[in-house]
């Protein structure tokens, strides 16, 4: 049984690596074969929208496909620390200001894990308004990739997303600070200056979103 599980895990990892590579190949072909900058950005934005929606829906639906209390977790999507060209360690820290996140419009990543809480919140949010609670609803928003990551208040926020009701506040991170110093292969994060591994990646789609957003950012500033 253990051998079968190890084979399955290796297959999943290999499949994720292939999917990351295929997506980046599509993006690279776009840059090489499209002559107009506006068309390049249009297609990259289309890819980002589709992949964000895929990841969001996948996390929201996990609760239906797992045990009563899900043990699956989503970690903070990016490395907490990274390094500049001189080898100095830098912290990936939030900005002072907070940002308003619309649950109907923004890509919000949240992982419900408790079946009864999920059912209770589905009923409550459907029949009532979503009420933001600054003590309970905690999240980060990452600019330049336009993703919100929720780490508390999962079940009510998940219900608000599906019923397209309500807004939350989130601490803001500027992901462009990582672009010159960090890259990913869809499995791990690496130091761009010496190729040393920094941290594991919790989902290959975050890596695709990050790398495509980096390509788009470089197009926009040139």
Domain span at 107? 2-221
Q: Provide the pLDDT for residue 127.
A: 96
Q: How many domains does the chain have?
A: 1
Distance (Å, whole) CA 219 – CA 42: 11
pLDDT tens per residue across span 98-131 = 999 999 999 999 999 999 999 999 999 999 999 9
| pTM of the entire predicted model | 0.91
Q: Provide the pLDDT for residue 86.
A: 95
Q: Provide the pLDDT for residue 5.
A: 33
Q: What are the structure tokens assigned to 203, written together?
A: 């989902």
Q: Which residues of the chain have pLDDT under 70?
A: 1-15
Q: Provide the pLDDT for residue 8.
A: 36
Which residue pairs from 128-133 have beta carbons closer than 8 angstroms and sit at least 24 positions apart in sequence? 129/165, 129/166, 130/103, 130/156, 130/159, 130/160, 130/163, 130/165, 130/166, 130/167, 131/166, 132/166, 132/167, 132/168, 132/169
């Amino acid at each position: 049984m253990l051998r079968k599980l190890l084979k399955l895990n290796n297959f999943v990892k290999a499949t994720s690596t292939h999917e990351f590579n295929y997506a980046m190949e599509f993006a690279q072909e776009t840059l090489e074969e499209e002559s107009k900058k506006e068309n390049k950005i249009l297609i990259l934005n289309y890819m980002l929208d589709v992949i964000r929606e895929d990841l969001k829906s996948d996390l929201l639906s996990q609760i239906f496909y797992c045990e009563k209390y899900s043990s699956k977790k989503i970690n903070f999507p990016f490395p907490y620390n990274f390094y500049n060209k001189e080898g100095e360690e830098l912290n990936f820290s939030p900005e002072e200001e907070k940002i308003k996140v619309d649950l109907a419009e923004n890509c919000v990543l949240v992982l419900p894990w408790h079946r009864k809480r999920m059912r209770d919140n589905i009923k409550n949010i459907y029949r009532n308004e979503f009420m933001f609670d600054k003590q309970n609803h905690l999240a980060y928003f990452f600019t330049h990739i336009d993703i919100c990551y929720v780490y508390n208040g999962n079940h009510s926020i998940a219900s608000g997303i599906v019923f397209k009701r309500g807004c939350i506040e989130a601490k803001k991170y500027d992901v462009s600070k990582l672009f010159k110093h960090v890259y990913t292969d869809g499995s791990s994060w690496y130091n761009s200056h010496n190729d040393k591994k920094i941290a594991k990646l919790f989902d290959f789609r975050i890596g695709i979103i990050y790398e495509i957003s980096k390509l788009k950012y470089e197009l926009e500033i040139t």
